[in-house]
Amino acid sequence: MIRVALAAAACTTFAFALAVALLERPVPAVDLPAAVAGTLGASGVEHPITAVLLNFRSYDTLLEIAVLLLAVVVALALHEAQPDSPDRMGLDNPLLRAVIGALVPLMLLTAGYLLWAGATRPGGAFQAGAVLAAAGVSLRLAGVALPGFEPPRLWHAGLALGLAVFLAVGTGALLAEGGFLAYPTGWAGALILAIELALTLSIGLTLLSLYRLAPPNADDPNAAVDGSARDGRHGSEPVATGRGGAASSDEDEQIGMGGDSPSRPDASAPP
């Protein structure tokens, strides 16, 4: 109760301060949109947002791709630290398979279109990559084995491709005595397209990998699973705190927030 009252007080103060900030806002002195419009011709693309993202403020985008790669590197490290049970993902449902068979080619086409459209109208690498990842996730839900995760070396290379190409282009410009990320005159459009292509592939693979690298449901310590689903590969499992599934009677301890999934109190018993 005290926590709710404190939270309410904090949020009211917070909202009040922000409201004052909005009401008292001065008129901006610097007109950046005009500067963007004035230099758009030299940016190599026609769409102002893409120009800002991949030319004027390309350094931000470079670091943003580094953040994305970093997230998947941490997920890879944790996957290595905590081996998962064999992957049993996939619903054996003919209808789902049929629908996905029709849908996935369409999604790939959409991704390609979004990538291409980015130069002139809304679209771009992240949107295209997200659609690619969605196609991958649906294939995985349908239980289709995806290529690209074996061997791991190739997988890692695919993840790193976007940042590597982006960094290589930027460094090439730096070596050519320009500035870092300063595209040579006349090449900006082509280089941006090449970067976007690499980014799309890497972003798609990264989002899909992050989805894949969470432990599978078979390893859920509170779920009702039969002994066969938890094979002996991961003996270290819930012993770390010694609590295991003991708390599964508390519905809030379910991984889903509804708390209506079946639970088994002794799920932490050694396999």
Partner 1 sequence: MSGSAALAWSVVVPLAGALASLLAPPAWRTWLALPLIALTGLASIVLLAAVLTGGPVTHALGGWAAPLGIALVADGLAAGMAMLTVVVAAPCALYAAVYLRGHSEASGYFWPLLWFLWAALNGIWFAADVFNLYVGLELLGLAAVGLVALRGSAEALAAAMRYLLAALLGSLAYLLGVALLYGSYGTLALDGLAAHAAPQATTQVALALMALGLALKTALFPLHGWLPPAHGGALTPVSALLSALVVKASFYILLRLWLALGPALGPATAATLLGLLGSAAVFWGSWMAWRQRRLKQLVAYSTVAQLGYLFLFFPLATGVPEAAARLAWDGTVLALVSHALAKAAMFLAAGNLILAAGSDRISDLAGMSRFRALSLLSFGLAGVSLMGLPPSGGFAAKWLLLQSALASGRWGWIAVLVLGGLASAAYVFKVFRRSFREGPLRDRFHAAPPALELAALALALASVGLGLVAWAPLAAMRAGTVFGGG
Partner 2 sequence: MNGAMLFPWVGIVLCAMGLFAFIVHRHLLRRLLAFNVMGSGTFLVLVGLAQDGRGVDPVPQALVLTGIVVAVASTALALVIFRRWYRVSGHARLPEDV
* Residues 204 and 215: beta-carbon distance below 8 Å: no
Residue 167 interacting entry, from partner 1, partner 2, none, C-beta within 5 to 8 Å by type = partner 1
Whichever of 55 and 263 has its CB closer to partner 1, that residue is 55
How many chain residues interact with partner 1 (CB under 8 A)?
A: 57
Residues in the chain: 271
Tell me how far apart the alpha carbons of residues 205 and 156 are, in angstroms, rounded to a whole number.
Answer: 10
**With binding defined as CB under 8 A, does residue 12 bind partner 2?**
yes
Stretch that binds partner 1, among 49-57, 86-94, 223-231, 247-255 (CB under 8 A): 49-57
Extract the runs of DSSP E, i.e. beta strands, from 45-183.
none
Tell me how far apart the alpha carbons of residues 91 and 96 are, in angstroms, rounded to a whole number.
Answer: 8
Residue 12 interacting entry, from partner 2, partner 1, none, C-beta within 5 to 8 Å by type = partner 2
Whichever of 127 and 193 has its CB closer to partner 2, that residue is 127
Longest dimension (CA), the chain: 68
The tokens for 181 are 């990320």
* Residues whose CB is less than 8 angstroms from the CB of residue 204 and which lie 6 or more positions away in sequence, other chains included: 111, 128, 129, 130, 131, 132, 133, 135, 136
Whichever of 48 and 112 has its CB closer to partner 2, that residue is 48
Tell me how far apart the alpha carbons of residues 172 and 176 are, in angstroms, rounded to a whole number.
Answer: 6
> Residue 148: which of 137, 159, 164 has the closest Cα?
159
**With binding defined as CB under 8 A, does residue 141 bind partner 2?**
no
DSSP label at residue 179: -
Kindly state the smallest distance separating residue 247's Cβ from partner 2, in Å: 6
The tokens for 97 are 């398979």
Kindly state the smallest distance separating residue 29's Cβ from partner 2, in Å: 12
**With binding defined as CB under 8 A, does residue 245 bind partner 2?**
yes
Kindly state the smallest distance separating residue 45's Cβ from partner 1, in Å: 13
Whichever of 174 and 239 has its CB closer to partner 2, that residue is 239
Tell me how far apart the alpha carbons of residues 63 and 65 are, in angstroms, rounded to a whole number.
Answer: 5
Residue from 45, 119, 183, 222 touching partner 1 (CB under 8 A): that is 183
Q: How many CB atoms lie within 10 A of CB 249?
A: 10
Tell me how far apart the alpha carbons of residues 216 and 160 are, in angstroms, rounded to a whole number.
Answer: 24
Site residues, partner 2 (CB under 8 A):
3-4, 6-8, 10-12, 14-15, 18-19, 22, 25, 27-28, 31-33, 36, 48-49, 51-53, 57, 60-61, 64-65, 67-68, 70-71, 74-75, 78, 82, 124, 126, 207, 210-211, 213-215, 219-222, 237-238, 240-241, 243-248, 252-257, 267-268
Residues that bind partner 1 (CB under 8 A): 17-18, 20-22, 24-26, 28-32, 35-36, 39, 55-60, 62-64, 66-67, 69-71, 73-74, 76-78, 80-82, 153, 156-157, 159-160, 163-164, 167, 170-171, 174, 178-183, 240-241
